[in-house]
Structure formats: C-alpha cells, structure tokens
Structure 1
C-alpha cells in the first residue's frame, strides 16, 4: 500500500473502528482480491464488530497498492459513502474501479516417483497408492488461536500480528476493587486521604467497560485473602476477563515472580505474588487462557526518586502538588506463608503466570504519590487515558501512555514517579466500549 494511503487509514482509525460495518465488505474484498478467504475468516473470528473493523483496517495496510482504492469502492458499493468520502479527503485521486484480474501461472505438478526405498518396503507392506495430482493445502485452517502469517518478498513467512483476546462477553467479567483508607492505630500507618476519589473513578470506569464491579473497603490481611479466594471460586466460564484493583499502602518483599506487597488495615501485608496466585491457571480453572489484570496503587518501597536532568524539549508541565503523600512502608524481609517455588501448571500448554498482567503505580522499591484531594497520580491518569483511548488502543499501549504522563509529574517540585507493569499476556487486549 502507498504510504500516503496508509497514513490516511491510521489517521482515521478511530472513525473506522467506530462506524465501519465489515460484514458487508467481505464478499467484495474477496472478489476483488484484496483479501484471501483465510484472511477474511481470521477477521471474522476477531470478535465484536469493533474488533473485526480494527483487524480489517490493520490487515488492509499490509496489502498491495490497489488495496486502498478497492476498499473505497467496496465502501461505496455497501452504502458506506460517508466513510469513503472521509478517507478521500486529502488523498490523491484514485480510480474507483475493480482491478483487471491478473493471469495466475499455476506451478507444474510432476508425478512423484512410485518406486520406494528398499528398507521402506520391508517395513510397510500396505503402502497407500500415491496420487501425484492431489496436493494438500499449505494454508492452515483458521483457528481462534492462530497467528496471522504473511509472506515476504523473499518467500519467507513472518508473523505480522497476533489475534486479540476474546472480549465480547456481556458482562465482560468481574472487577474487584479493594480500597483501604482508614488504618488501625496499631498498624502505625497513616490514613490514605484521597483514595476514595480513586475508588469512585475506577468503579465508574470499569462499569463503563462492562464489568461487574464489587468494592470492598478497609480490609485486614485475612479479609483481603478471603475476598481473593472467593473471587477465584466463582464460575468465570461465561466471562472473558477478570480484574483486581488494590488501593492501599505498600512495601517491598522478597519474591520470585511479582515484586511488592500491599497492606491490610491491620498492618499485615499480602505479597502481590500471592494475590496473583489466586487467579492463575492452576488455582482458577474457569479463567485458564483468559486475561487476569491486576492494578496496584501502592508503594513498591521507601525510596524517593528525584529523577535526572533531560533536555528542555523532553520536559512537559507537571501537576504534582506540595501536599502530595506517599503510600510507602519500609522494606519487609518476611517471606509469605505460601510456597513460591515454580511448579508444573495444571494446563500443560501454558505456564502458570500466563495471561496475567500486573500494573504497578510505581517502579519496585520506590514510593507512589497521592494527592489528598485529587487522588493518586497513577489512578487519575489511568482513568483519563482509558476514557480517551479504550475504544481504539490495546491495554499495553494504554499503559505506556500512562507511564509517559505520570513520569512528567513532580511532587513538591522535586520527586518523580515511574509506573510499570509485568506483562504475561499472550495477545493484545481491547476493552469493550459503548458504540
């Protein structure tokens, strides 16, 4: 595809994903040779209409120079003229007519030799007759798990993209929010002013993303474990995803997989590694192969990041305030009661941590900042970027945007914060959004 046409598709991707009706285009795109039947089948299996539209536009960019004008022609022929006109604005003039079918030179099929090696004859007496004119297809049949393959000019096959997670169940899945605000005096932990602001934002956001949201407030360590255990024992068969959000004080603990821990209001911590174990492929069978997302607003340790100097054009306005507070507790040397040694997963084809993403508000070992009135930097940014981009961007891209925006903030004019994630997802993940 011409670069100018590719940029037009990318610039209008949001409108295409929102308004395109791909099902009406399949026959025309197949007839005109823009896509093969295998590619059409793969686009159909992408999931919702939005997912199919997104996949169609992505694959269209990989096709030849006539893909763009033929796509416009298909839009015109299926009463989607408004999209065709939108794409033609600023584009070079194109001829909206079908391409003349190219003559295809079929390879010459020569008969295979019917004589077999002597040692083979001795091993097999019931040799099946060979029919040299029958050749198996080299194209694998479509599968929900199959990766999209493309052939390079040199004839080598490369992987262009991986199909996204199925995310069209309604509701999409459960979302558990644990919001620890008021801590017991014996814990020697300060109350977390502003956390209710975070909780309200996330409750509304994930309801808008079609999740069943349950909020639990001020839980002790054993209550956190009980809530996670109850979530793992639910039947998630009819759902496509599960989300756990924890807003609390945090600390750094020894670990073998996921760093950090969060505190109950009694001052006893629960390691992130243990939290993820409740929903992994071994302990929650109905979530096997489905994305399990964990968002942790808590400190990863007690170190305050003062950042480093960059050139002026790298700096953007920051929003941090002089009254920002941290969720930090000194590092704990305690190991958790649950053994963390690696074991064989209950599902042989997938390792235990697969399909898990843990998003941290701050880099392990550092503090996380929270405004007593506006809430935490991380949650405020996450909510805003989800609102603006969930309809068109996958989760990994969204979290990268969050990382960038939070990194521009400064607390007390000095301290910085850098979110990050441990991503064990196997596919892109797109949330459901209202049409």
Structure 2
C-alpha cells in the first residue's frame, strides 16, 4: 500500500474501528483478491467486531497498492458510504466516479497483490495487459446510472522465487537458553533444555550461521541481547535466526501471540522480539528472511487430542519425565498497545520476511523430556539434518508438525506446533553434500 494511503488509514483508525462493519466486507475483499480465505479466517478470529475491524485495517496496510482502492469499493458496495467518503476526502487520487451507461472510467494502473500461491509480479508491455471491468450497481436504480471501475492487472508468474542464501557466513543465529530460574520467579528449572541448545547450536553452525548462545538471561538482558543483534551490520548476510528456549505464557497481542520468560520471572512478548529485527529497527535485514523459533508454552491448556480411526494411529513417544514450559496467561506491559489512539499504529511491526515457528499451538503447553530435550527441538533438528539439502523451510516445518503431533505425554497429552509465516519466497538453507 502506498505510504499516503497507510497514513490515511492510521489517521482515521478511531472512526474505522468504531463504525466499520468488517463482516460485510469479507466476501468482497476475498473476491477482489485483497485477502485469502486463511487471512479472512485469521481476522475473524480476532474477537469482537471492534477487534476484527482493527485487525482488518492493520492487515490492509500490508496488502499491496490496490488494497486501498478495493477497500473504498467494498465500502460503497456494502452501503458504508460515510466511511468511504471519509477516506476519499483524504485521498483525492483514488475516486469511484458515477458514469453514464456504457461509459468506462479509466483509473490509474495499479499493481495487484501477490497472493499465497507464491506468485511474483512481472510488468509486461502496456499493449499486452488485459483489462477487467468490475461493475457495481448504482446506489439508486432510479438514477439510471452504473458505476464502473477499471483496473489493469499485470500477469502473474507461477514460479516461486527463492531467497538468496549463499552468503558466507549465511547470517547470525542468537540462541537464548533459559534453564535456571530465580527462586523469586516461582518458575521451575528447565532440565533438558541444555540438550536442546546443544543440538540447535551444532545444527545452525552446520548450516553456516555464526551462532551466539546466551544462557539464563533476565528480561532486561533478553532485550539487550536482541537490541545488540539488531545493531549488527547484516548487509553481507542473507538471513538472521533467533531461538528462544524458556518458559512461556499467553499475552495480549496484535500479530504474534505468546511471550517468553526471563529467569527473573518477567516476560518478553514474541511480538516485541520480532520487532527488534523488522525493517524499521534493522535496515540491513530489509527484504531478508528473519526466522524465530520459540520453544516455550503458549499457555496452560493441555491437549488430550481426539479419537481417530486405527489406521491413522502411529506409535507415540513420551514418558514419565515429560515436563511442560507452561505459565498461566498474564497481561503484558511490554506488548504493543491495543488502544485506538491515532499514533498507536506507528509502532506495530511490519511482518514482511518474518517467520515465527512455535513449539505448540497458542494457548497450549509444550512438552519437554528431561533426558532427551523437547519434542519440538528434537524433531526440528532431525528434520533439518535429513531434509535441508532438498526441501525448503516451510515444507520442513510441516514435517515437524506432523511428527510432533504423533507424540503423547504420559500416554494422554498431545502437542501441535505451528508457524506464523510472512515469508515471500522459498527458503533453502546452505548444506554441504
């Protein structure tokens, strides 16, 4: 989205959150290719109407140059004319004009949003660009007018591009391993976490990363370590990795759920962790993949799973030494503001080129064996070892999800990892055959 249109949405966010009916816009935004169904479902899951409206407005800013015009059209189509006029007054270059019958209004050429099919936009010669009219009935049939909107769509290629990952070293990898917690924190020590740390340190060194391990950090020290990482010069690197091994909990969030604890019992939201490496705070990582692996609980719920047919059941692992990294949900003074103040949006992260992989589904515990380490890290290490030479990261994380989902703790409890993926390209690690 153009910067001027982002500012318009930010300045009018209070009115949009208060008055917008997001449910009426979903079909139109989906039909026009602004959002995918998965994105719509995520917005719906935000909660109340106000929460959905807030998230819809925030996510629109990441959806390309035609998103603002499509929002205006959808507002008109759903009779939310007041909000459409409010936004149009501030954006005279984006208009939806009434036209006489059979008259076409030619708007400036806009580039469509690449959707989730790994598509990349390529500009063709002007004469080869197809034109697709979108017709909208007039608000009043008695006026005998139609509204037409014309957009020229550039053809999309169906070939997924890959991130450049051939620098040597490939990038920096920071591992924060919190094992021994202070008595006042009321958090148990995480026996078995050193096993996880050793595995991941060796694995990412093998993938040609410079690995730094920091152990038993307080909240303030976690922030300092992340700040120091963000201030490094990454211009000669292709990627950056942050691995958090600690206790975790749920917190209020706008984009990335969960938080991890320092050994002092104070937590740092995952959303804040990702902020340190976004384009605003770390310009030398702009356009480069930033990967976050979180081995911590997303909350305190224990998943007992559901019954499946016998042919779907595979052998499970897990035993009496399984522990969790769960802490009850808490409020967070570190999480970004959820208020509707006009300037609040300016501090939210831009998630482009970020992937956050969680050891467990938000709200649920993550299991760790005191002898062999956590289910998630053990599986992640094995999958990277066996498949990094042939498969991309997202495919490998799907393998991790499947393998961990087959485990059982104490013969009863399950675990389901997952990712928030905002990568734009395929990611293949460096390997030495």
Q: Same fold (TM over 0.5)?
A: yes
- Post-superposition Cα deviations, 1:38-90, rounded to whole Å, max 9, x if no partner, equal xxxxxxxxxxxxxxxxxxxxxxxxxxxxxxxxxxxxxxxxxxxxxxxxxxxxx
Confirm whether residue 188 of structure 1 aligns to residue 191 of structure 2.
Answer: no
> What is aligned with 1:388?
386
Task: Give 3-state SS (helix, strand or coil) of 1:205's partner.
Answer: helix
The answer as to whether partners of 2:251 and 2:335 remain within 8 angstroms in 1 is no
Aligned to 1:161, which of 159, 180, 187?
159
Deviation at 1:333, TM superposition (A): 1.9
Give the TM-score taking structure 1 as reference length: 0.62
Contact 1:322 1:413 in 2 (8 A): no
2-side partners of 1:218 and 1:286: how far apart? Answer: 28
Q: Which runs of 5+ in 1 are unaligned?
A: 1-144, 150-155, 346-350
What's the counterpart of residue 379 of structure 1? Answer: 377
Contact 1:176 1:243 (C-alpha < 8 Å) held by counterparts: yes
Match of 1:360 in 2: 358
Distance change (3 Å), C-alpha of 1:296 and 1:232? same
List per-residue Cα deviations over 1:295-346 (Å, max 9, x = no partner).
000000000000000111111111111220000000002332654743389x
**How large is the RMSD of aligned CA atoms in angstroms?**
2.1
The corresponding residue for 2:225 is 227
- In the alignment, does 2:314 pair up with 1:342? no
Query: Which residue of the other structure, out of 200, 203, 223, is the alignment partner of 1:202?
Result: 200
- Of the three residues 389, 411, 433, the one matched with 2:431 is 433
C-alpha contact (below 8 Å) 2:376/2:400 kept by paired residues? yes
Q: Which has the larger radius of gyration?
A: 1
Match of 1:402 in 2: 400
**Cα shift readout 1:97-151 (whole Å, capped 9, x = no counterpart):** xxxxxxxxxxxxxxxxxxxxxxxxxxxxxxxxxxxxxxxxxxxxxxxx96689xx
* Alignment-derived partner of residue 320 in structure 2: 322
CA contact (8 A) 1:148 1:161 kept: no
**Equivalent residue, structure 2, for 1:82:** none
Q: Does the Cα contact within 8 Å between 1:221 and 1:270 map onto a contact in 2?
A: yes
The residue that corresponds to 1:273 in the other structure is 271
The correspondence of residues 12-411 of structure 1 with structure 2, limited to 5 A, is: 159-336=157-334, 338-339=336-337, 341-343=344-346, 352-411=350-409
Kindly indicate whether the alpha-carbon contact (under 8 Å) linking 1:148 and 1:160 is maintained by their aligned counterparts in 2: no
Q: How many pairs were matched up?
A: 282
Give the secondary-structure state (helix, strand or coil) at the position aligned to 1:161. Answer: coil
Q: CA-to-partner distance for each residue in 1:170-211, whole Å, 9 max, x for gaps?
A: 000000000000000000000000000000000000000000
Instruction: After TM superposition, give the deviation of residue 230 of structure 1 in Å.
Output: 0.2
The worse-fitting range, judged by mean Cα deviation, of 158-167 and 243-252 is 158-167
By how many angstroms is 1:383 displaced? Answer: 0.1
Match of 2:106 in 1: none
